[in-house]
Structure formats: structure tokens, C-alpha cells
Structure 1
Amino acid sequence: MPRIPRRILLPLIIACALFMENMDSTVIATSLPAIARDLNEDPIALKLALTSYLLSLAVFIPVSGWMADRFGARTVFRSAICVFMGGSILCALSGTLEGFVLARFIQGMGGAMMVPVGRLVVLRSTSKDDLVRALSWLTIPALVGPVIGPPLGGFISTWFHWRWIFFINIPISIIGLVLAGRHVENIREPVVPPLDWSGFLLSAFGLSFLMLGLATAGRHLVSLPVSLAGIVLGTAMMVGYVRSAGRKAHPVLDLGLLRITTFRVGVFGGFLFRIGIGAIPFLLPLFLQLGFGLNPFESGMLTCASAAGAMFMKTLAARILQRFGFRRVLIGNAVCAALSLALIAGFTRHTPHLLITATLLLGGCFRSLQFTSLNALSYADIEKPLMSRATSLASVIQQLAAGTGVTVGAFALQASGWLQGHGTVMAADFPPAFLCVALVSACSLLWLVQLGQQAGATISGHRPAG
């Protein structure tokens, strides 16, 4: 049997781990109603399972690079796989909402280390001549995972049991551990600056208290006074971090990067846009299953259309940016993406599935183009020595936006039911919720209009006329 060249084998090993993480983050969304029934919980309470995972990513991503430099990339990567596998087992064995939320947080700790450290391994182990080809392998899990995840989760929940969603991670993890042990070098930096422990603890606990306080404010898991106390304490700790970060040479999150216009607009405009989009994995499966009576597999087959549209748009994004430039693309496409999100509010039990699929497919195209453009714009004016810091800050804000989106979507759903005078989730509650999150995404225009015509021209290749 011919041996696979190392320049291909190494990215494939990392891609398998990233595929597992990407798929797991989407596979659970389709199964939320089934998990809620089994745990005897309100489906809206399962928002905590999504937000705790995303929060864990936001907390631990900033220190993943430092840990790889300090302890070695292979050591941290294999440890991350073990933590992710352990979290998966705990998820599968959970019998209460509290246990499930905690298990998802542990799973997120592993995911936070796997993704950036895996990329770091490829970047440091591949020659520049093979870098584009190697990175192309790493894009596969990001594209394929969200396509496979919803139908797979729906299939397992419909004909087997939702717990098997997490058990399937075990053999994949074991294979990853063996292959990483054989083929991944334990790369580390000879000189590593000290970790900003005080900043890490302030940001970690601040973000945790703030996000979990917001997520539990709907009287799930803890009482309302406890939720409000978490919000106040989290806000105070984040204010403390902001005040202390500027005085440190190596802050865990470098807020000074926000002085760069393109980075600031890309991050904050992206934050508002991602809040609306972040609500979709939570709201859409509930809408199709609780509102329309579809089973998880039927729901998953419809919702994967968005990911298919995103895959298609990846092939066109660079040419569109070159033709029209960042400003015109981001402003016009933000409107289209928000409208496509608002169109979901018009779905009824009698809407043809073909029309639903087409709407979600088109919406996936718009969202993919916006994400690609925002990500590229954010790094347009970042110098190479600051790239690692910029990546950490942008990644944290992206995860927070996704978690906030789930929380906002849940609040909108609860408010809609309260205004209509019923306590249980009904189909009529969802249209106002989708209109609400579409409006939040549209508010990103307040930041995007600040861009000049030449913004990001060095990477888009766009040359404005005149």
C-alpha cells in the first residue's frame, strides 16, 4: 500500500479532529427537542447547552496558543482530544440539565484547544510551497461538518437515541490520538512570554458570569436574582479587565487592536451580524419540529440546506469582493442576509419543503459571503507580528456573538409567547422571534457604513473607478 505524503497526511489528521468538533457543534441542534423530552425540560432551557459550549470556546481559545508554545503542540493537541472525548462521554451519560450543561462546557474546553492548536501544527510544519494545499484540507471539516451534522443528528434521534450522537466521538477520538502520536511533531517555542494570568482569570470568570447570567435570566437552572447577580459581577470583572489590559505588554486579549478601523468594524459589525445568525441553530430546528410537527431527521434534512449554500458561496466570494469591494459587498449583502432571515418568519406548516429548502439555501449563500468578507476585512490592516493577538480577540468575540445569538433568540421566543398569552412554545411564537433576530443582524449596518471605498483593497484586489 503506497504511503501518503506527510504534507497531505498531517493536514488530514488535524482535519479529522476539526471535523469532529465542527460536526458536533451542529449535530446537537437538531436533537434539542428530543433531549429536552428525555431530560424532562422545557426545550428553551436547552439553550444553555449551546451557550455553555460556545462560552467555553470563548474562554479557552486565547490561551491555546500559549499552551502549545509552552508545552508542545502535540501534547496540547492530544490532551484536547482527550478532554473533548471525556466531555462527549459525560454528555451521553447526563441525566439532568445541570449535568448536560457542565458536560458541554468540558467538551468546549477540548474544542477550544483542538481548533487553533491544530491549525498551528499545520502552519509550523508545512513549507510555504505546500501551505495553500495543506490549508485547503483544513477547510473541508468547516464546510462538510455543518452539512452532515443536522441530518446525522436527526437520523440518530429519530431511529436510535440522542445519546449515540456523543458516543460516536469515541472511536474518532481514539484514531486521532493514535495518528497524532505517530505523525505530529511536538513543536514548541524556545522562548515563551509569561501568561497574563490575572487577565486570563478576569476575562474567563467575567465572560462566564456575564454570559451564563444572561442565558439563565429566563429562569432556567437558577433563580432570577442569581442570574442578575451573575450579570452584574461579570460586567464588573470585564470592566476591570479592560482597565488593566492596557498596562500589560502581553495581555491575553489585546484590546488596543480595536484602534485599527478595519479590524474594529469587522469585529463589532460582525458581532451584531453574528448575533442574529447565531440564533438560527437554536430557533430553526425548534420551529420545524415543535411548530410544524416534523421529526428530527426531516428537520435536519431541511436545515442542512444553509450549509450547502455556504459551501457553494465559498467558491465565489473572492471574485465578488474583487469586483465590488468590501464596502459595497458588506452593506448590500447584510441587507440581503437579514431579509433572508426574516423570510423564515413567513414559513407555515403548509409551506412546500422545496420552497423552505430554496430559502435556506439562498440564506446560507448570503451568510457565507458576509462571514468570509468580515473575516478577511478584520485582518486587512493587521501586521504579521500582531496576527496571533488579532486572531485570539476576533475568535473570542465570534464565539460570544454566537452564544449571545442563542440567548437573544430564546428571549425573543419567550417574549413572543408571553405577549400572546401562553406559556408553552407554539408555532405562532416563532415568526416574531425570527423578525427580532433579523433586525439585530441588520443593525450591523451601523458599523459597516463607516468603511471607506478603499477599505481592504489590498486584499480584495478591488480598484474603485475614478
Structure 2
Amino acid sequence: MSDRPVLDPAIARWLPWVIAIAFFMQSLDATILNTALPAMAGDLAENPLRMQSVVISYMLTVALLMPASGWIADRFGTKQVFVAAIGLFTFGSLLCAVSPNLTVLVCSRVLQGFGGALLVPVGRLVVLRAYPRSELVRILSFITVPGLLGPLIGPTLGGWMVEYLSWHWIFLINLPVGALGCWAVKRVLPDLRGERTPFDGQGFALFGAAMVLITIALEGLGELHLSHLRVILLLFAGFACLAAYWLRAVHDPDPLFKASLFRTRSFAVGILGNLFARLGSGALPFLVPLLLQVALGHSPAEAGMSMIPLAASAMVAKSLARPLIERLGYRMVLTGNTLLLGVLLASMGLVSADTPYWLLLVQLGILGGVNSIQFTAMNTVTLIDLDDVEASSGNSLLSVVAQLSMSLGVACAGALLGGFTSTMSADGVTTVLGAFQLTFLSIGLMAMLAATIFVQLDRDVGRKKA
């Protein structure tokens, strides 16, 4: 945008704080819920092993709406969209808190997801348009820190609320923060609009339909108990929509995501690697609190605190990714780290009632560090070779794939957990812990298979020349 606004010094000082708080709300809500699922299931008379739809509905809605966020902001203005996003997120939180059953709760999470999907991309867009390029690194670094703190604080706060208050407070806490956020946005946020660009409505519908149908098919194997015939039909319809979108994107001058992006080898490998590697690691925040509470009998507060090493080591390990990549290159780092990540995920299947608590914390800490290096390397290799023209479209697709793969990861984990539980019950072995152990082993093997994708990278991509 050529006409960059001249911000009042007070607004320029407070604007990053307002956007940072919105980032924190979104990242906190994405992680605070997992620890509360068993308590919510008890209140709603549901099986705690079949509560993944509460998580998936939010993640999938965020992934669906992300591609349209830029167009929506250009059409209606950043201030109006940001206020509407916080309002939807806050109202959805209220509906979640008063939900009488699982169906209403899932619908409320979808409404909450509509708001959450716009908070991060529109907030980042405001920064890009409001500040000079020389300030971007400093501002973006500041507003993303709260996003990193959300996963660190969320599970512990959620566990504490469930144990000493009730699960409803996980959502009610958003109400005063949302009201304050709306007031601050109206006073501080500039109303910026970009050039009106055509929106690929047909492409958006086809891509969105593919994501929804494939996710429901995986849910059908778990929580929804659909017949195999219906699951196959849903999968077929989902992949048909994806194929139709691809054929359309090849010839459309302004597609939702450009098919030409996949001509860049590192991008193609990075996107596909992201999709399959995150299927395993994306299920981790969902499975671990359930394992600790349902199978091992830990309290919600203990389960929440157990996630601290996972998030803390992830923050520390981010600084290790760059020197490793410069020394070894993306191909070696991602191939080796993906195999290690799969082994560590599978090793969670060895956890039992006899496992010392301190050993479990060490195991989760190592897993969090390896997972962090994986995400950092995958994200950067995906975008590293794109030119300026394709970088925006590539970044949008990466964001969508990251959200989608985590949603699919939770759906896969739920389907595996439900399947193993049913099989064991049929065989007369009713051990929930055994079902968790087999589920972790399976997602570990799934993650390891992604190494076959990363090995397709050129050997010297990312390696610092001597």
C-alpha cells in the first residue's frame, strides 16, 4: 500500500499492545480447553474420549476462514473487522459457557472460531500497513510473544479453573477481556483498507468443502460412529472437491491459492511435510491431558502443569533451529528431526501407572523441544525460495495447512483412540491405558512417515556456505 498512514505517537505506541492482547486471547483459547475436556464430558453426560469435536470445530473454522481474512479486511476496513472478530469471539465464549449439551457447545465453538480466525491475520495486516518496513521486525516480534505464552499458560490455567472453580470459567474469562479489547480497538486501531481485489468465491467453496468433508469422514470413524460406507463416500467427495479446486486453480488468473506455487520444490516439500508431520504432533495437546486424567488418574491441575515443560522447552529450542540448519541444511535437519519426533511420540505409549512423574515431565520437555525445531524448520523451508509476488499467497496457504493438519491430527487421534477402545472392549480387555498406548504408537509411526517427504529436499537448501 503506497499511502502509509501517519500515526499519532500515542496510537503508534499503544497499537502493538492491543494487537498483542488479541493474539494472546486466540492462542490461550486454543490450548486452555484441552485440560478441561474430562470435566466438561462429565457435566454434559458424554464420554471424555469422544470430546474431540469441541477442539476440531474451532480449529477447522479458523482454517476455513483464514483464506478470506485479507479480502474481508480490504472490503470492510480493519477497524470494523477487528471489532467484529473480538465481538464474535467473546459472544461465542459466552454461548460456550452456557451450553447445555455437546451439540450446542460445538456450534458455539464454531461461532468463536469465526472471530478467532480473523484476529491473527487481520492484526498482522494492520502492522504491515501501519508501520514502516524498518519497524516491522521489532513490532512483529513484540506482538508474537503473547502468542507463545498462550500454550505455556493455557493448560495450567485451564486445569486450575476446572479443579477449583468450574470449566465454565475457561470461557467466561474471555468476556471482560473481550469488552476491554473492543473499547481499545475503537480508540486505537486505524481503519485501513487495501485495494479491492476479486475474491475466488468458487475456489473458496471447493477448498472449504474438501476440508470439511475429509474432517467429518475422519470424525465418522471416531466420535460420530458413521458406517464405513458413509466414511468412504465422504472421503471420496472431499478428494473430488480438492481435485476440482486444483484443476480450477491451474487456469484461474486469481485463484485462492496459486497452483504455480508448487513449481518451487522447497515449497511443495514443505507444505506436504507440514501436513503429514503435524498430524502426529498436532494431536499431542489433545491426547496428553486426557491420558493423564482419564487413564492415569491425575487431577486437572496436575495435568495442566504437566504441559509446562512441553511449552517452555519449545520456546527455548527455537534458538537452536537456525544454527542447526546453517550447519546441516534443511534436508538433514528435517529428515532426522522428523524421525526423532516420531520415536518420541511413540515412546509416550510406554507411559504407565508405574512411570515416575519426573520422568514423564522430562519426556514431555524433550518432546516439546524437538517439536519446536520441527515447526520452525518446516515453516521456513516452505517459504524460503518464494519470490515477493508469491510469498503472500504461499504464507496464507501455509497458515491454512498448519491449522487444518492440527484439526486432522486431533480427528485421527480421536478415531484411533475410539477404535482401539472398542477393539479392546470386544476382546474382553477394557483397559483405557492400553488404548492410549496404541494410539501414541500409531501417531508416532504416522509422523515418522513424513521423513520420506523431507528427504526429497535438495541437499544444500539452507546450509550456510563456508
By the TM > 0.5 criterion, same fold? yes
Aligned to 1:370: 374
Shift of 1:5: 5.3
Distance verdict in 2 for CA 1:131–1:235, change over 3 Å: same
Aligned counterparts of 2:430 and 2:126: Cα–Cα separation in 1: 48
Matching residue of 1:174 = 179
CA 1:143–1:301 in structure 2 vs 1: closer, same or farther (change >3 Å)? Answer: same
2:292 is equivalent to residue 326 of structure 1: no
Instruction: Name the SS of the counterpart of 1:349 in structure 2.
Output: coil
1:8: how far off?
A: 4.2
Residue type of the partner of 2:192? I
Distance, in Å, in 2 between the alignment partners of 1:342 and 1:216 is 24
What residue ranges of structure 2 are gaps of 5+ in the alignment? 1-7
Task: Report matched runs for 1:79-90 at 5 Å.
Answer: 79-90=84-95
Alpha-carbon distance between aligned partners in 1 of 2:447 and 2:454, rounded to the nearest angstrom? 12
Establish whether residue 94 from structure 1 lines up as the match of residue 69 from structure 2.
no
Where do residues 307-456 of structure 1 align in structure 2 (5 Å cutoff)?
A: 307-420=311-424, 421=427, 426-456=432-462
Match of 1:213 in 2: 217
Instruction: Find the counterpart in structure 1 of residue 4 from structure 2.
Output: none
Shift of the alpha carbon at 1:34? Answer: 0.8
Label 1:169 to 1:226 Cα distance change in 2 as closer, same or farther (>3 A).
farther
Kept in 1, the 8 Å contact 2:314–2:369? The answer is yes
Q: What code does the residue aligned with 2:433 have?
A: A
Quick check: 1:312–1:365 contact (8 Å CA) kept in 2? Answer: yes
Name the TM-score, length of structure 2 as normaliser. 0.94
Are residues 1:147 and 2:152 paired? yes
Tell me which of 74, 78, 92 is aligned to 1:73: 78
Structure 1 counterpart of 2:432, which letter? Answer: M
Against the structure 1 CA distance between its residues 359 and 7, is the aligned structure 2 distance closer, same or farther, given a 3 Å change threshold? farther
Moved more, 381-390 or 59-68: 381-390
Question: Which of 61, 73, 93 is residue 56 of structure 1 equivalent to?
Answer: 61
Deviation at 1:221, TM superposition (A): 7.5
Deviation at 1:40, TM superposition (A): 0.8
1:253 offset after TM fit, Å? 2.4
1:29 aligns with 2:34: yes
Q: Indicate the SS of the match to 1:200.
A: helix
3-state SS of paired residue (1:156): helix
- Equivalent residue in structure 2 for 1:14, among 11, 19, 24: 19
Question: Does structure 1 conserve the Cα–Cα contact (< 8 Å) formed by 2:63 and 2:401?
Answer: yes
**When the two structures are superposed, what TM-score results if normalisation uses the length of structure 1?**
0.94
Q: Say which SS state the counterpart of residue 246 (structure 1) adopts.
A: helix
Mapped partners of 2:286, 2:420: distance in 1: 16
Displacement, 1:424? 6.3
CA 323–6 in structure 1, closer or farther in 2 if over 3 Å, else same: farther
User: SS of 2:33's equivalent?
Assistant: helix
1:259 to 237, 257, 263: 263
1:275 paired residue number: 279
Aligned: 1:184 with 2:192: no
Q: Paired residue for 1:302? A: 306
Is the contact between residue 7 and residue 130 of structure 1 (CA under 8 Å) also seen in structure 2?
no
Q: Supply the distance in 2 between the matched residues of 1:109 and 1:423 (Cα, whole angstroms).
A: 42
Structure 2 CA distance for partners of 1:185 and 1:425, relative to 1, 3 Å: farther
Secondary structure of the residue that 1:251 maps to in structure 2? Answer: coil
Once the two structures are TM-superposed, the CA of residue 109 in structure 1 deviates from its matched residue by: 1.2
| C-alpha distance after superposition, 1:3-42 (max 9, x if no partner) | 9854442222111011011010100011111111111111
* 1:230-264 deviations in Å (ceiling 9; x for gaps): 43333332222222222211111223312211111
Residue in 1 that maps onto 2:3: none
What does the per-residue CA deviation read over 1:70-115, in whole Å, with 9 as the maximum and x for residues that have no partner? 2111111111111111211111111111111111111111111111
- Distance in 2, Cα, partners of 1:410 & 1:211: 12
Gaps of 5+ in 1: none
RMSD: 1.9
Q: What is the Cα deviation at residue 453 of structure 1?
A: 2.0
Q: Which residue of 2 aligns with 1:133?
A: 138
CA distance in 2: counterparts of 1:431 and 1:162, whole angstroms:
27
> Compared with structure 1, are the counterparts of its residues 116 and 430 closer, same or farther at alpha carbon in structure 2 (3 Å cutoff)?
same
Per-residue CA shift, 1:142-194, capped at 9, x if unaligned?
Answer: 210001000011011111110110011111111111111111111111x3221
Structure 2 distance, partners of 1:332, 1:183, is 46
Write the distance in 1 (CA, Å) between the matches of 2:437 and 2:141: 38
User: Partner letter of residue 96 of structure 1?
Assistant: N
Tell me how far apart the structure 1 counterparts of residues 60 and 429 of structure 2 sit (CA, whole Å): 28
Change in Cα spacing, 1:92 to 1:383, as seen in structure 2 (3 Å) is same
Distance 1:228 1:259, change over 3 A: same
**Partner in structure 2 of residue 156 of structure 1:** 161
* 3-state SS of 1:452 partner: coil
Aligned length, in residue pairs: 457
